[in-house]
């Protein structure tokens, strides 16, 4: 379950910045900041890792092999603003935004973020993170659910996400970011 990391010494909840976050010692935990609040996430399970790896593999083939941009897999920091630093499970930055990539993180909105939901993270993915992605202007947000073997595609339209549907089985995703992405949803899950 994603929980506020109230036990971590620092500036206090609501006041965390990227600078504070970057100074955290590596204690083996996964942290993110949303609106200045430091959160701690659980370690991913086998279903999560399988889906993340496959999504990365198929997206990298579609994006990097076609020289359209770059694809990354967590953990890699994305600084959406100075008080919001997240680690999407998979993310895409197209060539038109490559300047957002630095050695240590992405600064600004990726073109696509993918979160692999679990019972312990789905609430956080659909509330705090979705609001952060909306504010930052992330054009497309996919929420993959290994338990139901589905992917929901959310498209940013007029400052809000609109669901293009929840897809499963032999369906392909109606993505506006990844051209000719003909991978069946069932291929993302083990």
Q: Examine residue 5 and state whether it is found in any structural domain, yes or no.
A: no
Q: Examine residue 38 and state whether it is found in any structural domain, yes or no.
A: no
Q: Examine residue 33 and state whether it is found in any structural domain, yes or no.
A: no
Q: Examine residue 16 and state whether it is found in any structural domain, yes or no.
A: no
* Domain count along the chain: 1
Q: Examine residue 15 and state whether it is found in any structural domain, yes or no.
A: no
Inter-residue contact 109 to 80 (CB < 8 Å):
yes
Say if residue 75 is preceded by a cis peptide, omega within 30 of 0: yes
Q: Examine residue 99 and state whether it is found in any structural domain, yes or no.
A: yes
Full pLDDT tens readout for the chain, 190 residues: 999 999 999 999 999 999 999 999 999 899 999 999 999 998 899 999 999 999 999 999 999 999 999 999 999 999 999 999 999 999 999 999 999 999 999 999 999 999 999 888 899 999 999 999 999 999 999 999 999 999 999 999 999 999 999 999 999 999 999 999 999 999 999 7
Q: Examine residue 4 and state whether it is found in any structural domain, yes or no.
A: no
Please give the Cα distance from 110 to 144 (Å, whole number): 17
Residue-range definition of the domain harbouring residue 140: 43-188
- pTM of the full structure: 0.95
Inter-residue contact 185 to 151 (CB < 8 Å):
yes
Q: Examine residue 156 and state whether it is found in any structural domain, yes or no.
A: yes
CATH code for the domain of 75? 3.90.1570.10
């Amino acid at each position: 379950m994603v929980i506020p990391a109230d036990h971590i010494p620092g500036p206090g909840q609501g006041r965390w910045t990227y600078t504070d976050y970057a100074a955290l010692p590596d204690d083996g935990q996964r942290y993110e900041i949303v609106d200045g609040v430091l959160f701690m996430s659980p370690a991913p399970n086998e279903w999560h890792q399988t889906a993340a790896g496959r999504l990365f593999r198929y997206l990298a083939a579609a994006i990097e092999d076609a020289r359209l941009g770059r694809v990354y897999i967590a953990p890699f920091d994305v600084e959406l603003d100075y008080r919001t630093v997240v680690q999407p499970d998979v993310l895409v930055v197209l060539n038109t935004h490559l300047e957002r990539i630095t050695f240590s993180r992405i600064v600004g909105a990726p073109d696509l973020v993918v979160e692999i939901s679990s019972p312990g993270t789905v609430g956080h993915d659909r509330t705090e993170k979705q609001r952060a992605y909306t504010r930052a202007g992330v054009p497309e947000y996919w929420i993959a659910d290994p338990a139901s073997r589905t992917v929901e595609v959310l498209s940013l339209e007029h400052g809000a996400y609109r669901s293009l549907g929840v897809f499963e089985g032999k369906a392909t995703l109606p993505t506006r970011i990844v051209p000719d992405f003909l991978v069946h949803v069932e291929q993302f899950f083990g």
